[in-house]
Chain A
Amino acid sequence: MATTDTLVRPDRAPVDPTTPLLRVRDLTVQFPAGRKEWVTAVDGVSFDVAAGESVALVGESGSGKTVSSLAVMGLTGDTGGRIARGSVEFDGRDLTKLPHKQWQGLRGTGMGMIFQQPIRSLNPAYTVGDQIAESVRKHLGLDRKAAMARAVEMLELVQIPRAADRVREYPHAFSGGMCQRVMIAMVMACNPRLLIADEPTTALDVTVQETILDLLRDLQAQTGISLLFVTHDLGVVAELCERVVVMYAGEVIEDGRADEVFFTPQHPYTSGLLASIPRPGISTDRRLTAIPGRIPAAGEWPAGCHFHDRCTHAVAGLCDVTHPSLAATAAGRAARCLRVADLQLEGVSAS
């Protein structure tokens, strides 16, 4: 594709392969809960995203996956919360120590984010071209004409047909899948090194979801961008991501390579999530495996392991008392379970 050469910025420093592009350590995010009281939504979250890697941040509602990703973007304050502890290192710099303005400056050129509802993320009163051009003029300092040319180029990059015409259309003229492409174009226009995608395909039909996943995969191959893919859907993760970070009730409970986590999960919650994915032709007795109970809300996390009251492997006197730490179990793998050595958990089968 002709657009590829313009995506490599000459002034970009070569990436040091030994340090990851994004390094989140002990990230703790709190939200106000009454006067001078704070409730912890994300507690001590650590994970890495290497340059060019695609990492999934997986969890159900209330797990803290979105709060974590917004914290990486420096948007915690805008959502009313605060980063109480921990660091977000991007390219070797701790962003939490930077003045807010500088963190803001990194959004666009350093990292970009797309959301679940693309139609709501676009301004209905401006053409999509104007909106893409706005971001390149602001972040790359291009003039009006060059910015518009860049917008057309970007719409071509995300495989929107008749890009030169469609750049003058308004968001309402685009379908949900096409809007998500426009959002991706807008983010990619400034050559970010990290794309955070928060449930980008959840609101789309399955056939459209497939095309968006293909597009993200192509873009990654072309530009070498790192991807942090926030989702609840392990099926989508398997399509796209090399590594998986599973979150539950504000904590990372498992971290590892996608194939290892899927085939031999080391946390009962991961195993349960994998079992509850419906697949055509899999259920023999026409029942889905369910995890009993529900995710506790922030501030209502039980003592001991946060998952113990839903866990079929929990042992009284151990799991409900001791809070497990995220412990390395093998090279590049970690799990937060006290019984990790005793359990042989079921994953998916390759067939």
Chain B
Amino acid sequence: MVKTAKSDSHSDTTAPSAPVAALLAWMLPGLGHWWIGQRARALIFLAVITGTFWTGVAVGGVRTTVTPRENGAWIAAQLCMGPQALAALYWSNQRMTQQKNEIKASWPASNIAVVYAGVAGLLNLLVIIDVLARVESMTAVGQPRPPPKGGGRA
């Protein structure tokens, strides 16, 4: 599915660890790709995914966008953004307790905001899966391919 670039920093020495790459990718979009040497891709992921998440928060306000009480399953998608989403959730909870009569976003801004932040989280989930696939392909480099199923041609 995914081809490994020749400039991977880890390909010459030891293969990178998949769990570490996935954890880094969860902590900051693109950090896993940066760690395995795909730095240009990492910067694109960081800019686009972080921008999408915070655009959503800007449209709806943090209290409307990142709230587990009202947004149900969307919060699970948003939490795929990692510490940024956790920080937004903490900020949202703080505002909920401190300023109870704060103005909330009206329709459709509220829905647009939640979808933006949720899609950003889901995109980061895809990036995590992509970095895992790249790490796996890097570890497989140099190993002989297994024979095709059924033994190939008869």
A pairs with B = no
Interface residues of chain B, those whose CB is within 8 Å of chain A, are none
